[in-house]
Structures are given as C-alpha cells and as structure tokens.
Amino acid sequence: MGKDVIIALDFPGAAETLAFLDAFSGEKPYVKVGMELFYAEGPAIVRELKRRGHPIFLDLKLHDIPNTVKKAMQVLSRLDVDMCNLHAAGTIEMMEAAREGLTRPDGTRPVLLAVTQLTSTSEERMQRDLLISASINDTIRHYARNAQAAGLDGVVCSPLEAALVKAACGASFLTVTPGVRFADGAAGDQVRITTPAKAREIGSDYIVVGRPITAADDPVAAYRRCREEFVGK
Ligand code: C5P
C-alpha cells in the first residue's frame, strides 16, 4: 500500500465539491468524505466521486452497539469505498463486528481504521470528562493494539502519535494522519501539526489535508506540492 495524500472534502454540498475537483484535469486525488458532506448529499456523492475515479476514504467514525455497526458497515461496503473508520472506544467486540459487516461475499473489504482519541481531546479533558486515568499516549497505544486484535488495518491519529503506534503495532499497521500544514502556512484551529515532509519522516502512511489545499489560491499546485513533500514525486 503506497503513501498518499488524501484531500478532506469539507464542503457543504455536491456543487462546491465537484467544482473544486473539476480543477484537477489529469489527476484523480484520493479524497475524504466526512460527516458534513455525507449528511448533506448521502450515498449519491460517494457514487459520483467513485464514477469520476477517485479513491475514497469515507470518514463517518461509527460508534454504536456491535450489531448496529455490523449492519451499517454491510451497507457501506456496497458503496465500494476504499477506506472507512470507527471509534476504537466502541470496544474490540464492536470492531470485530464492523470488520465482519464490511467484508464482502468475495472476502474483500475496504481498509478499516480506528480513531483512537480525537486530536481535539486533550489529556486533561480525557481524564476529567471521560474518567480515563491513563496518559493519553498509553490510551492511544492501548486502543491501537485493540484495533489490531480486532483485525483492523490501522488507526487515524495525530502525526505526532504515528511513531508510538508503529512501535506498538508494527510497521505495516497503517497510520492515517490529519493535522498537516506547510511550513509557511497558517495553522488555523489545528494545534498539534507537522509538515508533509515531517509526517513522512515520522512514518505516516497517509496524510489527510484539508484547508492547506482547499483554501489555497491554487489548490492544484498546493496538492502537487503536498504530494511532492510527502510522497517524493
Ligand atoms: O483543514 P484541515 O487540514 O485541518 O482538515 C483536516 C481534516 O481531518 C478535517 O476533515 C478534520 O475533520 C479531519 N480530522 C482531524 N483530526 C482528527 C480527525 C479528523 O483534523 N483527529
């Protein structure tokens, strides 16, 4: 599985999304559809992106009882996306049920990732609000191991956590990391950030990049620069 840049399509609807992608002539970037776009447009936008030839990460972060997640994953597997995810906090049993639901009759399935702790959750909030007394790094390591035990392929985490996940779960366990900014770019609301080159050095397999590309004056040039720094071509 090759390293790649995934563009976060954080747009309110199909019109803005497709207009943005129309600027890419020859390339078919890997794209991420999150809750905003999916709740606005439903499965139709996923089918349209697929029809246009984009690999798709469907970022819906499922978290419910195992049977419900299994059934939901069965439906998502028919959308033929390339990657999807859930919350590791749903337990190993829920993650196993998700993997089973996602597996197609021919045995294939999209890459399945677990969100460990959201990067918006600080250690202090996790301990106070969630009553988890371990450190955030121990929690992330533990959740990543649980995801691996459930047969998942990797985790979504901050690039700063990718190294500890690789150390705990092995080099082939995938790390998909948002929170990426160009060295000369604006951080926005992201706090724990790295550049594409640094994320590559730390060992991220995929970086998820939104505003540094979508809000750039020339998004295609920004995407190419990002790919060049991260993938090296
Ligand atoms: O615009 P920006 O590059 O900050 O976008 C990052 C994308 O990654 C957004 O879609 C955001 O929801 C997502 N994400 C994140 N941090 C996480 C999980 C997902 O920034 N922990």
Q: Residue 20 C-alpha to ligand 1 middle, in angstroms?
A: 18
Average pLDDT over all residues of the chain: 95
Q: Domain total for the chain?
A: 1
For residue 120, the ligand 1 atom closest to its alpha carbon is 21
Question: Does pLDDT of 196 surpass 90?
Answer: yes
pLDDT tens digits for range 12-32:
999 999 999 999 988 999 999
Residue 50 sits in a domain of what CATH number? Answer: 3.20.20.70
**Domain around 120:** 4-230
Of 181, 178, 174, 166, nearest to 216 by C-alpha is 181
pLDDT in tens, 216-225: 999 999 999 9
pLDDT digits (tens, 9 = 90+) for 46-71: 999 999 999 999 999 999 999 999 99
Residue 1's pLDDT is 59
For ligand 1, atom 14: residue with the closest CA? 178
Task: Supply the pLDDT for residue 185.
Answer: 85
Nearest C-alpha to atom 10 of ligand 1 is from which residue? Answer: 8
Q: Which residues contact 180 (CB under 8 A, 6 or more apart)?
A: 159, 193, 194, 195, 196, 199, 207, 208, 209, 212, 226
Across residues 207-228, what is the average pLDDT?
A: 97
Rounded distance from Cα 106 to ligand 1 centre (Å): 33
Report the atom number in ligand 1 closest to the C-alpha of 8.
10
**pTM of the entire predicted model:** 0.95
* Residue 191 confidence (pLDDT): 72
Residue 233 banded pLDDT, cuts 50, 70, 90: low
